[in-house]
Amino acid sequence: MTSGDGSAPVESTRLTAVADGTGLQFGWDADARIEVRSLGTEVVIEANAAGLRTLAGHLLVLAGDGVPDGTHLHLEDGNGLEDGSVGLVLERDDDE
Q: What is the pLDDT of residue 13?
A: 65
**CB-based burial label for 14 (10 Å; 0-12, 13-18, 19+):** exposed
Over residues 28-56, the mean pLDDT reads: 95
pLDDT in tens, 8-40: 444 556 666 666 666 788 888 889 999 999 999
Instruction: Please count the CA atoms within 13 angstroms of the CA of 34 that sit on its side-chain side.
Output: 26
**Residue 4 predicted with pLDDT over 50:** no
Whether 36 and 75 have beta carbons less than 8 Å apart is answered as yes
* Confidence (pLDDT) at 47: 98
